[in-house]
Structure 1
Amino acid sequence: MHSLFNPKKMQLTPFLFFTGKGGVGKTSTACATAVALADQGKKVLLVSTDPASNLQDVLEVELTNEPRAISAVPNLYACNIDPEESARIYKENVVGPYRGKLPDAVLATMEEQLSGACTVEIAAFDEFSHLLADEKILDQYDHVLFDTAPTGHTLRLLQLPTAWSGFLEESTHGASCLGPLAGLEGKKEMYGKAVASLADREKTTLLLVARPDNSSLLEADRASAELKAIGIDNQLLIINGLLQTHRAEDRVSTAFYNRQRAALNKTPQALKQIMAYSLPFVSYSLTGIGNLRYLFSSSAVSASVIEEPSVKMDELPGLNQLIDDFSEKNTRVIFTMGKGGVGKTSIASAIAVGLSEKGNRVHLTTTDPAAHLAYTFQGSDAQDNLSISSINPEIEVERYKKAVLETAGSGLSAEELAYLQEDLESPCTEEIALFQAFAAVVEKSENEIVVIDTAPTGHTLLLLDSTEAYHKEMSRSTGDVPENVKKLLPRLRNPEETGVVIVTLAEATPVLEATRLQEDLKRAGIDPKWWVINQSLAATDTTDPVLRGRASSETKWIAEVNNELASKCAVIPWLHEEKIGYEQLKEFSL
């Protein structure tokens, strides 16, 4: 098994970037590493650029975008850059000059194009790039740690000359996340130095943080390959939250342990070539300097750190009550939404089976590979009331990109075409392509309840909607939004027809990111009524001291979701075995 990650025993580069899926423990790992290095006498700066950052919660101090000395840790300084605010300023710098000169519909399109994750990321990169480009920084600090790294997509865009031109001011393909970098004029040289620092093995190490589960490891593999392709190849892998031992008499503990090992055995081959370390699954919440120091300490955590769960789990609804609610209201389209790894596919499958068992005709579709649904329903006989399909993201995205390139790409120079091709690699492109595929499924299923695993964000919905208005206003588009998409947008906003289920885990980052997702959807006129807290240890009867300790830390987030964030909240316990096949899914849902 992997060696334990311990920065006290390693020679680390000056710049350390922690990256990975939401909820894998990037912030806690970065904070614990920063504390350990500072305790060794190194002068350390810890910087977060995560929109859902809980850096100040972990360190238990108030932070701003200016470095602040952490009194409990001599030599440690931290700042919490707000990329959302940076993105707002960036967006206004781009759109502001056109106010009063272009129609409101055009301005709305421009603003929405600049409201996506890519714009937030480029604005965050602007904030920390001066740290990478300024040689004086390394005179002030021995190490600078970044909680969240830029993606290969963003870095490739920055390296393309057209990104710095006015090309997108004339572009009509309507897919851009960034727009021209007019809001960042004069910074091209600094960005070049920053990208060069990222690729310098003597200066920078990329730490890929993953959980011992399949989706997290696949994401780490994708990020690794994407960043290696542009020269950032000094990488380490940290498997976070690995249960070290288990109680044979405890079914939850045993299943937890075995499932993690099974996932590690399926680690992608390319990821196996990277030096890998692990961090233990701990019984306590990784907040506060004392607990952060425990992570790399040989001493055991004191029993006083572990508290018994206080939330009355039996008073919260289960999945069966969510299914009853949708059935009674005759909801026709149901989306499950949330970050990868929270269990959307399992929840969507159980909802579909539960509604089918109530006599409804149901169609279940997903963007997960077909093998996943085939695996989930393996050994199941065909059901009269349930049909299943799988949308292949790669096929749909390639089809969409081909259509855009055939229209918007006509007549472009080689440089402009290169920008357009890279621009189409953005997450928004995939969402729009998949949304069009979903719209086609829904249109063909007027007589069925349609359950859709993975849905577009509010940003994508608004982008499609404003693009439609833009087409009407300017009449210079490469083509109209498909008719089935136009019909589905208002349908999604109609609570009598559509229900959105936000799936999360009872942990800081998944809840914070789900909160942002809900705000995003509300901005688009969609109000989710149900949240599902999945895989809850607090809802189990485990006697394992490590798992029970973690269960107690969940109750804070369960209470926040139930009392403040969700209109209705269902809690599903961590299951000691996967629910495979129709009959088990039926048992799970009823």
Structure 2
Amino acid sequence: MDVLAKITPNGHRRTLFFAGKGGVGKTVASCLTAVWLARQGYKTLLLTTDPAAHLGDVLGAPVGDAAAPVSGQPNLWAAKIDPKTAAAAYKTRILDDACQRGRPAQAIKIMAEELNSPCTEEMAAFDKFIDFASQTDWQAVIFDTAPTGHTLRLIELPMDWSQQIDIKVFASVETSAADDVAKQRFGQVIEMMRDPAQSTFAFVMYPESTPILEAWRAAQELGTVGIHAGLVVANFVIPPEQATTPFVRARRAMQEKYLAEISERFTTPVLQIPLLPQEVKGLEMLAVLGEQLYGEKVAA
């Protein structure tokens, strides 16, 4: 499967996830991909689940909690999933549901304590992600994810959904119809993640040992739940023509060694984003980089 087949819709909505350790350039990779898809005419939603979101800085436009058009780029919407806001709404919904079902006060108190656990923010963020993923308004959805360890926990959360159901209904032997619908939604999204015709996981790294190893381990762990890497993006690659001094030549030689290691470890296409003299900001620069990676604009 070529690169364009991995990023464009083809009978299904295309969902792309960008993963990697902090600071490798996931936001830039996701933004330039979203801008490129929007310029092809695809209705594209760009999301972040990163609590320290830099999406708005890179796009040059504010990004809020609700999906809103990105000014200056037709066919592109963006939204930020705030874990704390999502967690508050999630806890309120579950506890209100328990009250409406007539659960004992002591049971509700225990549930509230359980929902104060650290994983609640992650579960709530994933629940919000499910809301977006279940909508049919977009042809492509791009996720600028949090650093690798956090991302893996988000992906693993649906595997523990039954445990969350147990927390909600431990005083009863039956789950509600709403719980059944929620479990079905989670199951459908996980199957979508596992289907390469619908989803692509792209691992972003720069050509050095630590980000490569972290991405490799994350990819291996995802593989154990049936989700496989579809693309690799190598960022901050020194262009050969810029290797004109001993220092830069040495850095370029080091990068070439690690680029070879990336190709050996990952059996997927490897895209390269060059090291630039300025930071990547704004739609115009993202459009230029998108064409460098994916080619010129073509009809959708």
User: Could you tell me the TM-score, scaled by structure 1's length?
Assistant: 0.41
Contact 1:210-1:240 within 8 A present in 2 as well: yes
Q: Say whether 1:197 aligns with 2:197.
A: no
**Distance (Å, rounded) in 2 between the aligned partners of 1:83 and 1:128:** 11
Contact 2:239-2:274 within 8 A present in 1 as well: yes
Letter in 2 for 1:295: L
Partner of 1:399: none
User: Cα distance 1:212–1:91, how it changes in 2: closer, same or farther (>3 A)?
Assistant: farther
**Distance (Å, rounded) in 2 between the aligned partners of 1:258 and 1:131:** 43
**Distance (Å, rounded) in 1 between the aligned partners of 2:93 and 2:259:** 46
**Distance (Å, rounded) in 2 between the aligned partners of 1:146 and 1:45:** 8
Partner of 1:295: 289
Q: Say whether 1:53 aligns with 2:53.
A: yes
User: Cα distance 1:114–1:264, how it changes in 2: closer, same or farther (>3 A)?
Assistant: same
| Superimposed CA distance per residue, residues 85-104 of structure 1 (whole angstroms, 9 cap, x where no aligned partner) | 11233356668989x969x9
The one of 184, 195, 205 aligned to 1:210: 205
Give unpaired runs (5+ residues) of structure 1.
Answer: 171-183, 299-590
User: Cα distance 1:109–1:67, how it changes in 2: closer, same or farther (>3 A)?
Assistant: closer
| Superimposed CA distance per residue, residues 77-118 of structure 1 (whole angstroms, 9 cap, x where no aligned partner) | 1112212211233356668989x969x9x999757x623xx4
**Distance (Å, rounded) in 2 between the aligned partners of 1:119 and 1:166:** 12
**Distance (Å, rounded) in 1 between the aligned partners of 2:3 and 2:230:** 16
Q: Secondary structure at the match of 1:90?
A: helix
Contact 1:151-1:223 within 8 A present in 2 as well: no
**Distance (Å, rounded) in 2 between the aligned partners of 1:11 and 1:157:** 25
Equivalenced residue count is 269
The one of 130, 138, 143 aligned to 1:141: 138
How far did 1:274 drift?
A: 2.7
Q: Secondary structure at the match of 2:18?
A: strand
Contact 1:133-1:197 within 8 A present in 2 as well: no
Partner of 2:297: none
**Distance (Å, rounded) in 1 between the aligned partners of 2:229 and 2:266:** 14
Q: Say whether 1:43 aligns with 2:37.
A: no
| Superimposed CA distance per residue, residues 416-450 of structure 1 (whole angstroms, 9 cap, x where no aligned partner) | xxxxxxxxxxxxxxxxxxxxxxxxxxxxxxxxxxx
User: Cα distance 1:260–1:168, how it changes in 2: closer, same or farther (>3 A)?
Assistant: farther
How far did 1:294 drift?
A: 2.5
**Distance (Å, rounded) in 2 between the aligned partners of 1:80 and 1:36:** 20
**Distance (Å, rounded) in 2 between the aligned partners of 1:167 and 1:15:** 31
Letter in 1 for 2:235: N
The one of 2, 8, 14 aligned to 1:12: 8
| Superimposed CA distance per residue, residues 363-399 of structure 1 (whole angstroms, 9 cap, x where no aligned partner) | xxxxxxxxxxxxxxxxxxxxxxxxxxxxxxxxxxxxx
Partner of 1:65: 65
User: Could you tell me the TM-score, scaled by structure 2's length?
Assistant: 0.76
Partner of 2:252: 257
Q: Secondary structure at the match of 1:279?
A: strand
The one of 218, 224, 232 aligned to 1:237: 232
Matches within 5 A, 1:123-522: 123-134=124-135, 137=136, 140-148=137-145, 151-160=151-160, 161-166=162-167, 187-233=182-228, 235-245=230-240, 250-267=245-262, 271-297=265-291
**Distance (Å, rounded) in 1 between the aligned partners of 2:17 and 2:24:** 14
- The alignment-based identity, stated in percent, is 30
How far did 1:168 drift?
A: 11
Contact 2:6-2:200 within 8 A present in 1 as well: no
How far did 1:265 drift?
A: 4.3
Partner of 1:340: none
Q: Which has the larger radius of gyration?
A: 1
For CA contacts below 8 A with separation 6 or more, give which structure has more relative contact order.
Answer: 2
Give unpaired runs (5+ residues) of structure 2.
Answer: 172-177, 293-300
**Distance (Å, rounded) in 2 between the aligned partners of 1:42 and 1:154:** 27
Letter in 2 for 1:228: G
**Distance (Å, rounded) in 1 between the aligned partners of 2:70 and 2:32:** 13
